[in-house]
Amino acid sequence: MSPPPHDPTSGQRPNRSGTALTGTTRPSGRTAAVGTVLGDYERHLRLERGLSDHTVRAYLGDVVSLLGHTADAQQPGDLADIDLAALRAWLSRLKADGASRTTLARRSSAARTFTAWAARRGHLATDPGPLLMAPRPHRTLPGVLRQDQAAALLRMSASAAAEGDALALRDQALLELLYATGVRVSELCALDLDDVDYSTRVVRVAGKGGRQRSVPFGIPAEKALRRWLDEGRPTVVRVGSPPAVLLGARGGRLNQRVARTIVHQAVGAVPGATDMGPHGFRHTAATHLLEGGADLRTVQELLGHATLATTQLYTHVTVDRLKAIHDRTHPRS
């Protein structure tokens, strides 16, 4: 388990921006108590909420930043100092330091998550979080490929795999699955062999928070996947290789960074295409589903979004495209 971003027993304390200040005195009981609370909170985030390492680090970092803001010249931040005024002052300081609306919204959400947990555990007498207002973030989507561009990308991938090179076969399977399913790159790289059900053509993935879902894929993706598993994977598998669907050149589970590079290079070979990684490819799949007539609820389930509001962002993309087509083709546009 990774330690919290700030270890209050280390003789350092956070300053108002959340960075550590070197101390010369031994940590007080008050400091150690805060460290215990942070450790309990980390276990809550990891074990009870099932959040990823990256998300846990972000949540803990925001709490340390908040406690750093409540610190004075003599004492590190104390939980009892966290009230609505302290939360507002903390966000105001972050804004003055140049934090964006998106950052402020994320940090206020992290603070509300912490104060709700702290109040339930008895560390705070009341929870000030529900009264904290934060600016709504400007939510934007990256560019997406047109359907003809996606088709061109997959044709080039199939052409590269035609000669039977193992890694080219893997890359084709990766791209076909990403486009067919819209899964996250972390979900794709985590797929094991028994997560693929060929009888129904679905993959079982574990999404954010450990939420399980089944996502269908089509015949082109099935063909690419079967060829990789039959012809390519046996040539790179090694003794001790994991049961992963996608393997790296040395026989280990495919690294997410390598998967991102594969997508960037494939998109870069398409004339006029906007540069993107797996996340943009995921947006592309969702956009094309909606353009093809899929309803929002279905797309939400396929993508594993916790709320429909996230999925609704894609409607803006499709409406913009409809307007562009209308302006270009309608005689009275």
Identified catalytic residue from 208, 213, 264, 321: 208
> What pLDDT score does 47 carry?
87
Identified catalytic residue from 123, 184, 233, 288: 184
> Where does residue 330 rank: exposed (0-12), middle (13-18), buried (19+ CB within 10 A)?
exposed
To the query of whether residue 282 is one of the catalytic residues in this protein, the response is yes
To the query of whether residue 305 is one of the catalytic residues in this protein, the response is yes
Identified catalytic residue from 107, 112, 233, 282: 282
Mean pLDDT in consecutive groups of 10 residues from the start of the chain, 333 residues: 42 37 36 77 88 86 86 57 87 86 85 90 88 69 83 96 95 95 89 92 79 86 96 95 96 95 94 88 84 75 65 60 61 60
To the query of whether residue 49 is one of the catalytic residues in this protein, the response is no
Task: For the chain, list the domains and their CATH numbers.
Answer: 8-131 (no CATH), 147-329 (1.10.443.10)
pTM, 2 dp = 0.59
To the query of whether residue 112 is one of the catalytic residues in this protein, the response is no
Identified catalytic residue from 30, 204, 264, 279: 279
What is the DSSP track for 96-162? Answer: HTT--HHHHHHHHHHHHHHHHHHHHTTSSSS--GGG---PPP---------HHHHHHHHHHHHHHHT
> What pLDDT score does 109 carry?
87
Phi–psi pair at 137, nearest 5 degrees: -70, 155
> What pLDDT score does 269 carry?
93
> What pLDDT score does 297 carry?
75
To the query of whether residue 95 is one of the catalytic residues in this protein, the response is no
